[in-house]
Chains A and B, each alone.
Chain A
């Protein structure tokens, strides 16, 4: 379970509020979506949860471990698929997964079987023993997702996991995300695709201008706004005054 409390991150001497008091819970066995327009603070929030960025204020607790106080222990409980799809071009997919698995104490046969399990899960058999040089974005994305899963984490963070994937890969990835939750894991992911969020998420946090402006099930958000689709509900919630504020924030961030 991931618990986020009053996270804050300001840039430019406090004038740019990238994340401004964000709080939400991601329970086990559920998929929590983080939705927001570009520059809303999604990725900054996810990076603070992963311990890559230090929050100015607030705490992140992962299965009882405080990321700020015990980052190494907390990171051990996390599997993070970042939005950077960089891979090591001179290593094979299997070698890359093994490399990451060893950071979590996996070795010998246990490591081999976990790597093989991830290869099977993500359908990477064809690229498993090929060096990653020249891989397509979809193939690289599989490695990125695979290295987040190789240590079988209970908590998974995915930053736009289907971005740039073809239709088949998107379907497979969504199915994999569903399976994670069914296996009892806590899944937190960000996406731009409303239909994806509507289909997958048990709960959705909508972030605009660094603040959570709505949190609930897709049905509850639609009911709250009186809209028929999540997309309409999102536009309703993210638009208006906050949307304008967001646009201003994006401009400031870009300038910074």
Chain B
């Protein structure tokens, strides 16, 4: 029995490893997913930080009414007001400009007379993408608030009053998270998503190729004529699909971890993910992959061609990704929830990433849940493995 199973396993692996498409999928997906997810968030963070320090030019009307103090305060924050003639509000509304400032007549006089002076800030958050209207308005807002506080302080100081009376609560915040924990916050959201994607995509091509593909090529009949039993054929093929799925899973998480560790500190702010996180992600993904592979094979067995199988397998990808995404936002409320395939392992890896204490039983439940689902799926696949129906569709 094992001889025939390993025969099928070996042949399917050889066949797949010689197939450029399958190989591309096994190697490229991890490269894209692992490296992209590991680099994307820190990279975006570093861009935001850099953008916040870049000079910003804001179109403005009524600059002549601005006090020198205001202009100096803005200049300190690398913000310059540029005179704008015409319909500034219209330009912002149309999206031609992201944000603009109108300084009404008498602004400077009101300030000097210690009255409340009004400024009008217009913004269109849909304009210019993430570094467009909203981003400019937020920077301007921050700078104006800071200037407003400085003016208040100077006014009370002029009356010999301690300016701290304006700040009854002096809140001092300090982030005590370690670099590992900082890296973990980001990983706790991305790793579940990666798990859902990689287990569904990793074995997709070979699961279809070994079943519907073999049917389409006209080789399935000759295989089923051999003394190999249904159990042997199905197990051999599943073993090959699972082996091929393991490649992208391992590469993805190792790639994710390595990428996170080789990124320059200017991007990551020194945040580093401990090795236990990718190891945990791999260990949780493997039993889950077995379950998803079985499901993919059930879908493929029932179809007659590669294309049909691809269409049939589409919901499997969605079915794996949605619970994984849910796991990133909703933590399990009981241990039993770790038994839920996809959700349980994904939630566990999410907790692992943030360094949350996880009961040992949760690991057992997450693995048992996936394996039990795979076992049930295997029995269903075996039931569908009807030679006559598979070959001739009758």
Binding site for B on A (CB under 8 A): 11, 50-54, 72-73, 75-76, 78, 80, 82, 84-91, 95, 99-100, 102-105, 107, 131, 144, 147-148
Is B91 part of the contact surface with A, judged by Cβ < 8 Å?
no
Binding-face segment, B135-143, B219-227, B282-290, B332-340: B219-227
- A95-B14, A100-B226, A107-B3 given. 9 additional CB < 8 A pairs? A72-B227, A75-B226, A76-B227, A84-B218, A86-B221, A87-B217, A88-B15, A99-B7, A103-B227
Find out whether the CB atom of B7 lies under 8 angstroms from the CB atom of A102: yes
Enumerate chain A residues within 8 angstroms of B387, measured Cβ to Cβ: 52-53
Enumerate chain A residues within 8 angstroms of B14, measured Cβ to Cβ: 90-91, 95
Is B304 part of the contact surface with A, judged by Cβ < 8 Å?
no
Question: How many residues of chain B have a CB within 8 Å of chain A?
Answer: 25
Is B228 part of the contact surface with A, judged by Cβ < 8 Å?
yes
B379 → chain A, closest Cβ, in Å?
20
Given A86-B217, A86-B222, are A104 and B15 also a contact pair (CB < 8 Å)? Answer: no
Within 8 A of A (CB), among B336-362: none
Given A53-B388, A102-B4, A103-B7, are A84 and B226 also a contact pair (CB < 8 Å)? Answer: no
Within 8 A of A (CB), among B229-245: 229
Find out whether the CB atom of A88 lies under 8 angstroms from the CB atom of B219: yes
Enumerate chain A residues within 8 angstroms of B54, measured Cβ to Cβ: none
Q: Complex formed: what's the CA distance from A45 to B229 in Å?
A: 21
Given A90-B18, A95-B14, A99-B11, are A50 and B225 also a contact pair (CB < 8 Å)? Answer: yes
Find out whether the CB atom of B221 lies under 8 angstroms from the CB atom of A84: yes
The 8 Å CB contact of A147, one of B217, B222, B391, is B222
B4 → chain A, closest Cβ, in Å?
6
Find out whether the CB atom of A75 lies under 8 angstroms from the CB atom of B225: yes
Q: 1/0 per residue B1-33: CB within 8 Å of A?
A: 001100100010011001100000000000000
Is B394 part of the contact surface with A, judged by Cβ < 8 Å?
yes
Binding site for A on B (CB under 8 A): 3-4, 7, 11, 14-15, 18-19, 217-222, 224-229, 387-388, 391-392, 394
Find out whether the CB atom of B219 lies under 8 angstroms from the CB atom of A86: yes
Enumerate chain A residues within 8 angstroms of B224, measured Cβ to Cβ: 52
CB-nearest residue of chain A to B229: A72
The 8 Å CB contact of B388, one of A52, A80, A88, is A52
Q: Complex formed: what's the CA distance from A73 to B387 in Å?
A: 17
Q: Complex formed: what's the CA distance from A72 to B392 in Å?
A: 20
The 8 Å CB contact of A75, one of B11, B220, B227, B388, is B227
CB-nearest residue of chain B to A44: B392
B94 → chain A, closest Cβ, in Å?
58
The 8 Å CB contact of A78, one of B11, B15, B225, is B225
Find out whether the CB atom of A104 lies under 8 angstroms from the CB atom of B219: no
The 8 Å CB contact of A87, one of B7, B219, B388, is B219
Find out whether the CB atom of B221 lies under 8 angstroms from the CB atom of A103: no
Enumerate chain A residues within 8 angstroms of B227, measured Cβ to Cβ: 72-73, 75-76, 103-104
Enumerate chain A residues within 8 angstroms of B221, measured Cβ to Cβ: 52, 82, 84, 86
B377 → chain A, closest Cβ, in Å?
25
Q: Complex formed: what's the CA distance from A131 to B15 in Å?
A: 11
Q: Complex formed: what's the CA distance from A172 to B19 in Å?
A: 33
Enumerate chain B residues within 8 angstroms of A80, measured Cβ to Cβ: 222, 225
Enumerate chain A residues within 8 angstroms of B226, measured Cβ to Cβ: 75, 100, 103-104
Given A72-B229, A91-B14, are A84 and B222 also a contact pair (CB < 8 Å)? Answer: yes
Given A76-B227, A144-B222, are A54 and B11 also a contact pair (CB < 8 Å)? Answer: no
Find out whether the CB atom of B18 lies under 8 angstroms from the CB atom of A100: no
Find out whether the CB atom of B229 lies under 8 angstroms from the CB atom of A54: no
The 8 Å CB contact of A103, one of B4, B391, B394, is B4
Enumerate chain A residues within 8 angstroms of B15, measured Cβ to Cβ: 88, 90-91
Find out whether the CB atom of A103 lies under 8 angstroms from the CB atom of B228: yes
21 example contacts (A-B, Cβ-Cβ < 8 A) are as follows: A52-B221, A52-B225, A53-B387, A53-B388, A54-B388, A75-B227, A76-B227, A78-B225, A82-B221, A84-B219, A86-B219, A86-B220, A88-B217, A90-B15, A90-B19, A99-B11, A100-B222, A102-B7, A103-B7, A131-B18, A144-B222
Interface-central residue, B4, B19, B219, by most chain A CB under 10 Å = B219
B388 → chain A, closest Cβ, in Å?
5
Enumerate chain A residues within 8 angstroms of B3, measured Cβ to Cβ: 102, 105, 107
Enumerate chain A residues within 8 angstroms of B228, measured Cβ to Cβ: 103
CB-nearest residue of chain B to A48: B388
Enumerate chain B residues within 8 angstroms of A87, measured Cβ to Cβ: 217, 219
Given A51-B225, A90-B15, are A11 and B217 also a contact pair (CB < 8 Å)? Answer: no
Q: Complex formed: what's the CA distance from A144 to B222 in Å?
A: 8
Find out whether the CB atom of B394 lies under 8 angstroms from the CB atom of A11: yes
Q: Complex formed: what's the CA distance from A8 to B226 in Å?
A: 23
A87 → chain B, closest Cβ, in Å?
7
Enumerate chain B residues within 8 angstroms of A73, measured Cβ to Cβ: 227
Q: Complex formed: what's the CA distance from A240 to B227 in Å?
A: 42
Q: Complex formed: what's the CA distance from A107 to B3 in Å?
A: 10
Q: Complex formed: what's the CA distance from A90 to B213 in Å?
A: 13
Q: Complex formed: what's the CA distance from A78 to B222 in Å?
A: 12
Q: Complex formed: what's the CA distance from A7 to B227 in Å?
A: 22
Enumerate chain B residues within 8 angstroms of A131, measured Cβ to Cβ: 18
CB-nearest residue of chain B to A87: B219
Q: Complex formed: what's the CA distance from A105 to B388 in Å?
A: 25
The 8 Å CB contact of B392, one of A53, A86, A102, is A53
A107 → chain B, closest Cβ, in Å?
8
Q: Complex formed: what's the CA distance from A99 to B9 in Å?
A: 11
Given A90-B19, A102-B4, are A82 and B225 also a contact pair (CB < 8 Å)? Answer: yes
B190 → chain A, closest Cβ, in Å?
35
Enumerate chain A residues within 8 angstroms of B220, measured Cβ to Cβ: 86
CB-nearest residue of chain A to B4: A103
Q: Complex formed: what's the CA distance from A229 to B392 in Å?
A: 36
B229 → chain A, closest Cβ, in Å?
6
